[in-house]
Each structure stands twice: as structure tokens, then as C-alpha cells.
Structure 1
Amino acid sequence: MTKTLIIGIGSILRGDDGIGPRTIDALENEKLAEGVELERGDLSGMDLLKFFPGYGKVIIIDAADMEEKPGTVKVFRSGELKGSGFKNISSTHGMGLLETLTLARSMDMEDGIIVVGVQPERTGFALEISDTVKESMPVILEEVKKLL
């Protein structure tokens, strides 16, 4: 059986940047297929690399500036990010997601990596995500489930 890892990255102290971990919180209440594992955190790019081996599929959920309306959800295969308008949020993750995926590609580790990007409204200090991004949670969950 192919194992799948869903990682929600971001800081829950920076408003909408916390959408990744908040999505993992929501997924913990869902019935997921066997072989699906969940991880959350304010991870640096280098920390993410350790998760890639051993999984047939890795789904990363992160706030990303895609120059879209706040709350917009987009799904990217890792090779599709370049030129897509996807930009790292000022990184609390150390090395950004784009750099991490470029490194993963150079190490032949990018197969099966999928990014679910969510356009934030605000990423300054705040303990709650914005209402706009909160309202996109059903769409995020639906997109993640379609990828399983």
C-alpha cells in the first residue's frame, strides 16, 4: 500500500499563515483512507525534506501569495509551481517551499509532491485566521480529499 503524508505548514501565530496546521486539525476529525498520515508545524524547508522519502504521495498545505483573491485555493504538482505566480509568504519556514521543492527535484525526490496553496488575507501577528480564509476551509478539505 502506498503511504500518503499530508503536511500543514505555517505559524498559527501569524493569522492566515496558520491555515496549514488548522487544516490538519480539521482533517483529524475526518475519516481518511488507510495509510494516510498527518503532520503539522512551523517547519523550515530543510525540515520538510525529511518527510519526502518513504511516501508515495506528499500533500503540503500552505498559505501562499498567488496574487489571487484572499481565500482562493489552488492545487499544484511540484513541477507546476515555477511560473505559476506562487510565492512564499515571508518565511517563518526558513528556506521557502519553492526552494525546498527545487532541492527535492535535484535529489529526485519530487515525484508525488502536491501543494495546496491558499491565498491569505493577512499574515501579521494574529491568533485567528481571517473569516475570508476560514470560509475556504470546506474547499481546502474537498481538494485534499480528491487528492487521496
Structure 2
Amino acid sequence: MNKYLERDREIINIMNNDNQALEKLKNRNILVLGVGSILMADEGIGVHIVKKMESLELPENVELLDGGTAALDLIPYLKGKDKIIIIDCIDTDDPAGTIYRLAPEDLEDIKTFTISSMHQIGLAETIKMSRLLGNEADVIIIGITPKTYSEYSLEISPELESITPKVIEIVLKEIQS
């Protein structure tokens, strides 16, 4: 059975008060992974978001991880996860602070999206390698258009700071779905 169809059935069962399905969803292993370089202003938005989420009370089955610019070194952390939510900046022509919900396949459409990267190997390659090694997790990317990522700064731009609560809200909804 298609794993996405199976997940949708689980959600429908939960909506119909199926306690067994609810328990199964609660036991999913979820990773929220913030990536990027905090030394390069908005390029580190994923890490900044994960750091802010550390103060939240999250379910025990949710792990937060500052992935920095580790790329392939992240693969062991992806193993055994049922769902991975990745937060990173993406380089688009849209205004700073534009938020996208992407699937891994979207990362290959470089006409539309180019993952900005000081990371030596990109996010798409890391996900591909993880899948080649048998990781079947659902992967969602929350991409955010930066204002700047070419200057050294430990601070994110006011534009990205202002959307941080919205990004956290999106991530929390992804955790629940």
C-alpha cells in the first residue's frame, strides 16, 4: 500500500476518534531539522527557528536538531525517522520572508528554486543519499526566501525575524499532520 495513502487513512481514522490510529500517529518518530550557517545572516534561518522552538513543549516523539552546514554528516540523524521537517532558506525572486512548503522533488527544479548553500553538498543530495541508504521518511522542506545571505552577521534580517512565529506555526502543523 502506498505510504501516503496509508498516512491519509490514519488521519481520517483519527478524525473518526479511532484511538488506535491516534496512538500510532503519536508514536511516529519526527525530526525537525534546521539547516544553514548562522554566520551568514538569513542563511541560518533554519537554525534560528529550531533554537526558538527549543523553548516549546513538544511531544516526546519530536526531536529538534541544529544541522548547521553538516550536509552528509546529517544522514545518521535522519535514520529511523518517520517524518523529517527541514527548515532552510531558498533563493528565489520572491520578496524576503516568502515561505514555501516543498517536497524533496521540488529541490531539483532549479529553474524555480535553488537551495542557497554555503553547505558543500546541497540539501537535495543529502536527502537522496539518505533515501539510497534506505530511509523512507516523509520529508517536508519549509523554505524561506532570505533578504541577505552574503554578509557576515549572527542576526537574521527584520523581515525574517517578523515571520518567525508564522514559520513555527507551520512547523507545528506539520508535526500534527
RMSD of equivalent CA atoms: 1.7
The residue number in structure 2 matching 1:78 is 104
In 1, Cα distance between equivalents of 2:43 and 2:82: 26
Shift, 1:68, TM fit: 1.7
Which of 125, 135, 141 is matched with 2:152 structurally?
125
Which of 29, 33, 38 is matched with 1:12 structurally?
38
Q: Who wins on radius of gyration, i.e. which is larger?
A: 2
Structure 2 unaligned runs (5+)?
Answer: 1-26
Residue 32 of structure 2 contacts residue 85 of structure 2 at CA under 8 Å; is this kept in 1? yes
String of CA shifts for 1:29-69, please: whole Å, max 9, x gaps.
11212210111032332112222211111111111113321
> Match of 1:6, as an amino acid?
V
Give identity over the alignment, percent. 33
- The structure 1 segments of at least 4 consecutive aligned residues displaced by more than 3 Å after TM superposition are 104-108
In 2, Cα distance between equivalents of 1:104 and 1:54: 11
1:23 aligns with 2:53: no
Equivalences for residues 130-145 of structure 1 within 5 A: 130-145=157-172
TM-score, normalised relative to structure 1: 0.89
* The 10-residue stretch of structure 1 (28-37 or 6-15) with the greater mean CA deviation from structure 2: 28-37
In 1, Cα distance between equivalents of 2:121 and 2:83: 21
Shift, 1:110, TM fit: 5.0
In 2, Cα distance between equivalents of 1:78 and 1:145: 19
Answer 1 or 2: which has greater helix percent: 2
Structure 1 unaligned runs (5+)?
Answer: none
With a CA cutoff of 8 Å and minimum separation of 6, indicate the structure with the bigger relative contact order.
1
TM-score, normalised relative to structure 2: 0.76
